[in-house]
Chain A
Amino acid sequence: MRSPDTGRTPRTLADHAPVIYPALMLLVFFVVPFGIMVTISFFERVPGGFYQPTFTFDNYGRFLSAFFGNVLGFSLGLSALAAVICVGLGFPFTYLLTRLTRRRQILWLVFLLSVLSLSEVIVGFAWSTLLSRSAGLSNLLVAVGLLEQPESWSPGFAALLVGMCYLAFPYTVLLLYPTLVRLDRELVEAAMTMGASPLRAFFTVVVGASRNAILSGLILAFVFTLGIYLLPQLLGRPQHWTISVMITDQAIFQSNLPFGAAMALFLMLVSLSLVGLTLLLGRRRAA
């Protein structure tokens, strides 16, 4: 960055002026709320009521039980699986998408963005219908003769997984898109002139050259699905209720804000450290 009045250090108050208002807004309405949440997580809960200011680790203590350990483990595992599926499907899909004509790409992108604007409630309802016995896809299979009689596939683990992947898929594709659309087509062609079949070239070159994007895609899908809280209730059974469901439960049904906040923070720390670990491993491999 080299220019007269861009890219230099701001000196005067006037130089700083534009940043004051946004910084203030973010500070007051994001940093402070976050801080309050952190504070509340150390408060004591008043049964039936709310909380009172004390300093206690009880909320974190309650969380450190086998039960919540299982819930957390399940949530992380589910999100990891969903992330792998999203990227596993989304990567080849995005690659193929970027090879289409620009017009078709735009159509696809508009479609994906519209899908992305569906709320969790609607997606949950639609999939529970699609996977139901009475109105679902299994009727199609029966009509085609692949199935004896319609089956119910929801609620259940598979239904939940499908719903989660459905929600995260557009985000994953949009994240992978820039990298893949910028990927030099000649890389694949070069591999082919050197004797790699198209499939071989895809795995040795496209995948290899997009390692970082794949990693970010995994992280995004992971963090994103970790935050999903309605689908497990709509498409899953109680054993599939994730940590986000528990947090929402505490806030919505139990009015136990301190415990909810403690869980939320714990969840954030765990996912951030997993993300950090993944990045670290990725970097090591790339180096």
Chain B
Amino acid sequence: KTRAAEPLKVGVYGGYFQESFDKFIFPDFTAATGIEVESVAEPTGEAWLVQLEQAARAGRAPADVNMMAQTPMLKGQSTELWVPLDPAKLPHMENLLEQFVHTYPDGRIDGIGAVAWYITLVSNTDVFAEAPTSWADMWAEDKRDTLGLLALATNSFLLEITAETHFGGQDILGSEEGILEVLGKLAELKPNVKLWYRDEGQFQQALQTGEIPMGQYYHDVAGLAAAEGFPVRSTFPKEGGVNDSGSWAVTRASTMIEEAHVFIDYMCQPEIQASLSRNVGTAPTVRRDLLDLTEEEFSAVASDIPPIVPNYQMYAERGDWLEQQWIETITS
């Protein structure tokens, strides 16, 4: 066992998420490895990426290990922000589903799946007695001015949702004309949207009070809120929830590469993944058969309905163009 002079700084999304990690995961890790952990609240992936990048240029690491969503993972690759990970030091990596091992184009590993989560359709139970069943419900006439949606193309995945719901699949997103067509459909949604949020808390507050009774949100956090007694529910629409995930990635400015490997490896253990599912509400990144989750526990964090898989490559390839089209669509 190693004992570091400084704590290992681990970046996780703030709020409920961070609190759950602090409560259920990190103490056990410290107990098991002797490595102190300091959790750092991360903002939305894009903002955090910029922070990490700036800090790395100054040789600083706001957090050593970071939980990064897929789009920022890809963006970070272009500046070699992520330290290549050594598979030899990650024996538990073999437990992972293969899509959760993230690599540079040349094959070097730069990220290991940390947790998976679903973006689902959430609603306030006081306002809507009946749960909505389809993403298409968002387009309904009677939902005027009631929705809260994520404001960035890269974290809302509304293009994929629209394509799956109204265009029978994501093939249409293969060309710029197709994307524009999807955006056109998405534009019809605008009268129904009350809040385009950048930051979760803003919507969560509004959802809990019923101010904005419906929208897209994180399945795990909605579950935690419901567990605390707020009139909130999360529904997997029949088209599927959006399945996104976060990977552990280590910034090149980190001086604690060894400890980072220990941490990432620790997190790949099935018991830990199960604990995450039970306590944090995220979906596991290891193979189902290795887990001791009951059927009930599993369906609480995931669904059997096939998920909508985000089109990360599209964001990486058409970055600025897509971003400009997106902002013009939603702001006009």
Contacts and interface: CB of A to CB of B under 8 A. Distances in A.
Interface of A: 45-50, 67, 70-71, 132-135, 152, 155, 233-234, 237-239, 241, 246, 249, 251-256
A255 B74 contact: no
B209 A134 contact: yes
Contacts of B327: 67, 238, 246, 249
Contacts of B304: none
Q: Which 10 pairs of residues, A with B, have the shortest CB-CB distance?
A: A48-B78, A48-B75, A49-B79, A238-B331, A253-B46, A134-B209, A255-B50, A238-B330, A252-B47, A47-B319
Contacts of B46: 252-255
B75 A253 contact: no
Contacts of A48: 74-79, 316, 319
22 contacts: A48-B75, A48-B76, A48-B319, A49-B78, A49-B79, A50-B79, A67-B324, A67-B328, A70-B332, A71-B331, A132-B206, A134-B211, A135-B209, A155-B195, A237-B194, A237-B196, A238-B330, A246-B327, A252-B46, A252-B50, A253-B50, A254-B320
Given A50-B53, A251-B50, 7 more contacts: A46-B78, A67-B324, A132-B206, A134-B209, A134-B210, A152-B211, A155-B194
Nearest to A74: B331
A49 B81 CA distance: 9
Contacts, number: 74
Contacts of A49: 53, 75, 78-79
By DSSP majority rule, is chain B's interface helix, strand, loop, or mixed? helix
Give the interface size bracket for B toward A. Answer: 35 or more
Interface centre among A70, A233, A234, A255 (most CB of B within 10 A): A255
B330 A255 contact: no
Contacts of A253: 44, 46-47, 50, 152, 198
Given A71-B331, A134-B209, A47 B47 contact: no
B320 A238 contact: no
B83 interface: no
Contact of B49 (A70, A241, A255): A255
A246 B202 CA distance: 19
Contact of B151 (A133, A135, A238): A238
B49 A256 contact: no
A254 B323 contact: yes
B147 to A, nearest CB: 12
B83 to A, nearest CB: 16
A234 B78 CA distance: 32
Contacts of A239: 331-332
A255 B72 CA distance: 11
Interface centre among A70, A134, A246 (most CB of B within 10 A): A134
B91 to A, nearest CB: 32
